[in-house]
Structure 1
């Protein structure tokens, strides 16, 4: 998966991550043809929450060609303590971030979240 969000979408995505952090300590990224699902479940498995971001939410949403032909999609489990700080300052994101790119399932089986800021800075 490779998807690109603009400023206003990054803020909404960050709010979803914050909401899911109240449910559980893990964030599941589940890229699908219907969109990117963010999921969380608490440790007792008694509470569950999911946000599904349609491909129309993103400026660019691209699944790998193999997934479009029926192959298994990649599901990623991330520690919330690693993801949450990236979206902690939503006011700063709205002022400084122009785009955010999320890549899942790159050659090293990693998740990469890149923020492209004003004045050409990348974080």
Structure 2
């Protein structure tokens, strides 16, 4: 999994991370060749949310993945890394995110003006797919 985001796309991605962070303790990442899905469920398993990004959302030279990649990250960690600041508009140029299969790490790099690069190496937890199980017939609303 390897993709890059420009500033406008990064703002949308950050809002998605922040929104999911308000729901649960972990954010589940599922990446295949067509899309990247961010999923979250609350602690009582009564609320579930999914945000999907198609491959056309990312920069043109991005490559999502050849095989399915699934892992989860702590919500607080994600929110701290993707915390949007006022300086982003003036300094941030690009964000690159890649998954290192060998070390089970998510590497996030923020490229800023004047050659400054902020790099985060986040340890990930492997997990199974997270799906909502419900019956539409039994739902009243």
Q: State the TM bucket, normalised to the shorter chain.
A: 0.7 to 0.9
Higher RCO by CA contacts (8 Å cutoff, separation 6 or greater): 1
The equivalent position to 2:74 in structure 1, one of 60, 67, 79, is 79
Shift of 1:90: 4.2
User: Which is richer in helix?
Assistant: 1
User: Is 2:87 the counterpart of 1:88?
Assistant: no
Segments of 4+ in structure 1 off by > 3 A? none
- TM-score with structure 1 setting the length: 0.87
Name which of structure 1's ranges 28-37 and 13-22 shifts more when overlaid on structure 2.
28-37
Deviates more, 1:101-110 or 1:76-85: 101-110
Structure 2 gaps, min length 5: 119-141
The residue aligned with 2:104 is: 109
* Equivalence for 1:19: 19
What number of residue pairs does the alignment pair up? 117
Larger radius of gyration: 2
TM-score after normalising by structure 2: 0.77
| Local SS of the residue matching 2:24 | coil
The residue matched to 1:62 in structure 2 has which SS? coil
Provide the aligned C-alpha RMSD in A. 1.4
